[in-house]
A = this chain, B = another copy of it.
Amino acid sequence: MKILRLLRFQELTYNQKEKRLAASIKLIVGSKPLNLSLYKLALKHVSVAKETKSGIKISNERLEYLGDAVLGTVVAEYLFMKFPYRDEGFLTETRSRIVNREALNAVGQKMGLPKLVEAEMEGKIPFSFKSLYGDMLEALIGAIYLDRGYGFCKKFIYKRLIIPYFDLDDIIKTTANFKSKIIEWSQKDNKEIDFVLKSVSGSQRFKEFVIELNIDGETVGEGKGPTKKKAEQEAARMACEKLQLVF
């Protein structure tokens, strides 16, 4: 079936609007769509979706659910390969800095999704909806995955999403070092901070450290972990949240 689609007989049946859409998608994705209806669906925000007789709203939300998962996996692998010596905590944290609403929304806009939507919806854009382009980007990834398979989709995400739009050096500089953030803050604000080891449990082989973080004598965070370092990070993270320290 994919072979037949690769031959692109479908294109012969495109109307003017569909031809323009296919051309725009080629610019964004890097290759002509095989199944254009998937991309049309990806651009269909729930706010413009019509309800069918049976009460189902056909919108891009299902594709968004799928694309979100695919994007998560591809970014997970990208970081896994790029940072062979970093632990899973670092990888998870770094991934969440790439795969989050605000970042994806900004990227969706830079990629040119607004123009695509304008053309497709003929002006009726639900501007009020905040993460519109982030959601749509995920739906687009879902459509690419179904249209072209995992390998193609992975290349798309690497080459046209992560590499051009994310400065990893910049992202990892600010990633996850909650302890140093707290120390920096305490020095500036002249606070006394103290990481206190409360307990160590477990066997010799598998230990669990519990560490409390006190600021000027008051406990503001507690962390558990298999190493002191991780427990401290956890306690510092909790404190950063409580104190609303932003990175």
- A16 touches B (CB below 8 Å): no
Q: Tell me what chain A mostly uses at the interface: helix, strand, loop, or mixed.
A: helix
A202 / chain B contacts, CB cutoff of 8 Å: 128
Please determine whether A47 and B205 come into contact, CB atoms closer than 8 angstroms: yes
Report the minimal beta-carbon distance from A184 to chain B, rounded to whole angstroms.
23
Residue A37, interface by CB 8 Å: no
- A62's partner among B57, B80, B124, B129 (CB-CB below 8 A) is B80
B residues less than 8 Å from A65 (CB atoms): 76, 80, 88, 91-92
How far, in whole Å, are A87 and B54 apart by their CA atoms in the complex? 13
Chain B binder among A4-12, A66-74, A172-180: A66-74
The proximity string for A residues 118-129 relative to B, scoring 1 for CB distances below 8 Å and 0 otherwise, is 000000101011
Looking at the assembled complex, report how far the CB atom of A156 sits from the nearest CB atom of chain B, in whole angstroms.
14
The residue on B at minimum CB distance from A67 is B76
Within 174-217 of A, Cβ neighbours of B (below 8 Å) are at 202-203, 205-206
Q: A27 at interface (Cβ–Cβ under 8 A)?
A: no
Given A48-B205, A126-B206, A88 and B72 contact (CB-CB distance below 8 Å): no
Q: Check: A234 CB closer than 8 A to any chain B CB.
A: no
A226 with B46: CB separation less than 8 A: yes
Question: Would you call A128 and B206 a contact (CB within 8 A)?
Answer: yes
Closest 7 CB pairs between A and B? A47-B206, A69-B76, A65-B88, A69-B73, A150-B150, A61-B88, A73-B73
